[in-house]
């Protein structure tokens, strides 16, 4: 780990209860101090509790769920909020919404994933959908976190993060 400050990454999804929660926890787990992940949504769950299957999936993967909550993206648009270096939408709905102004004008990208909480399958099928989503996010993040830090200046960061949407 170097003495440079970590890159702040915000994952957005409409309800901030599944995909963005998985991405936040996973990047904080894998990021080795190079990254600090956050998540939020345009219409977060009212009880501020992530989808229980997201939490079970993370716990089964031995990834900490401490501090995870569903919150509004407005939390990160205030002057005293942590300044983001990269904002990544992880659902198509959030990608199409008008986002708040982000202090510092961070790089942006869209990494679309199907919503694992949709569908009427059995509990085992739903849990498998969450596990598959976690695996897809992990594959993309493995590439991202192994980039040399010199590749993570704002212009290169945005291009690289957008290129990863095709992986």
CA gap 5, 24 in Å, rounded = 18
pLDDT interval class at 2 (50, 70, 90):
very low
CATH architecture of 7-155: 3-Layer(aba) Sandwich (3.40)
- Higher per-residue confidence, 3 vs 119: 119
Q: Which are the contacts of 29, defined by CB distance < 8 A and separation ≥ 6?
A: 63, 64
pLDDT at residue 165 above 60? yes
Q: Which two tokens stand for residue 47?
A: 């009880």
Return d(Cα 135, Cα 154) in angstroms, integer.
Answer: 27
| pLDDT score at 53 | 95
Proportion of the chain above pLDDT 90, given as a percent: 46
Q: How confident is the model at residue 104 (pLDDT cuts 50, 70, 90)?
A: confident
Confidence of residue 156 (pLDDT cuts 50, 70, 90): low
Rounded to an integer, what distance in angstroms lies between the CA atom of residue 146 and that of residue 137? 14
Mean pLDDT of the chain: 86
Q: Which residues pair with 88 in a beta bridge?
A: 11, 109
pTM: 0.87
- 89 has a pLDDT exceeding 60: yes
Asked whether the beta carbons of 39 and 16 are under 8 A apart, the reply is: yes
**48: confidence class by pLDDT, cuts 50, 70, 90:** confident
DSSP state at residue 145: H
């Amino acid at each position: 780990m170097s003495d440079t400050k970590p890159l702040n990454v915000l994952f957005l999804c409409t309800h901030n209860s599944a995909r963005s929660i998985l991405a936040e926890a996973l990047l904080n787990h894998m990021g080795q101090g190079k990254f600090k992940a956050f998540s939020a949504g345009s219409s977060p769950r009212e009880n501020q509790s992530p989808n229980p299957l997201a939490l079970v999936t993370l716990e089964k993967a031995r990834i900490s769920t401490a501090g995870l909550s569903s919150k509004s993206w407005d939390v990160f648009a205030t002057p005293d909020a942590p300044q983001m270096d990269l904002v990544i939408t992880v659902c198509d709905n959030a990608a199409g919404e008008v986002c708040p102004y982000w202090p510092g004008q961070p790089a942006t990208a869209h990494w679309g994933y199907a919503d694992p909480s949709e569908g009427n399958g059995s509990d085992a099928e739903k849990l498998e959908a969450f596990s598959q989503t976690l695996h897809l996010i992990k594959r993309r993040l493995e590439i991202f976190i192994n980039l040399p830090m010199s590749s993570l200046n704002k212009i290169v960061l945005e291009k690289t993060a957008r290129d990863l949407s095709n992986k």
